[in-house]
Amino acid sequence: MATQVALITGASRGLGLEVARAYARRGLRLILTARGADPLEQAAAELAATTDVVAFAGDVADAAHAERLVRAGLDRFGRIDVLLNNASELGPSPMPELANLSIESFEDVLRVNVVAPLKLIQLVLPPMRKRGTGLIVNVTSDAGVQAYPTWGGYGSSKAALEHLSRVLAAELEGSGVRVFVVDPGDMDTAMHRAAEPGVDLSHLPAPSSVAPAFVRLLDERAGFGRYEANQLAPVTA
């Protein structure tokens, strides 16, 4: 793994940071991005004690930022082996019913949760295909398959991401590039607290308990799969 490189979005806290830590311990070099410059700088400084790190703060929904991120990673390391599309946009908090969800907010959710992952996939795919190997992991949610009231905007975006992943896997069959969607389950994170403001979530698992599932996928040889990470087992898509 010492030669491999992972690009992780939403890497400054929560699940993204925990997976970055787990990948660093495994020996992967890292390309990291998140919106907040200060938390990302702190995360990069911590991880740099274990592995080589490139970090750029910015919005993954900004196409120019995505292009800069991939270009900088390729310039520094010469390759990207793993793309983890972890960054997500929840939308307004508290979350409104669909009848009251502004179209502008919904468009923001779709840009971050669907359009941005596809943009990054398109950027990293050519070198992955050329090498005949690569791993694309898109973080999803059970809100993408279950109809939870007030979760319509976020859930719709995850449903779109899941189907995008299925089609992508079919198109990449035989290429050596693997595609997975991973449902990390309920966790005690800042995003979940924003989704349910005022609710005590301390009983939920920490992101560090879920990160090993993403390490497992480094060795998973199968094609497309949908995983519930907190169960560490594949489930039917």
Mind telling me the catalytic residues? 154
Answer yes or no: is pLDDT of 204 > 80. Answer: no
Strand 134-139: give its sheet, edge to edge. 53-57, 29-34, 5-9, 82-85, 134-139, 177-183, 225-228, 233-235
- Show the 3-state SS of 3-46: CCEEEEECCCCHHHHHHHHHHHHHCCEEEEEECCHHHHHHHHHH
Predicted pLDDT of residue 198? 66
This prediction has a pTM of 0.91
Q: What is the pLDDT of residue 190?
A: 66
Domains located in the chain, CATH noted = 5-235 (3.40.50.720)
As a whole number, mean pLDDT of residues 206-234 equals: 75
Q: State what percent of residues in the chain have pLDDT above 70.
A: 84
Q: Which amino acid is at 150?
A: T
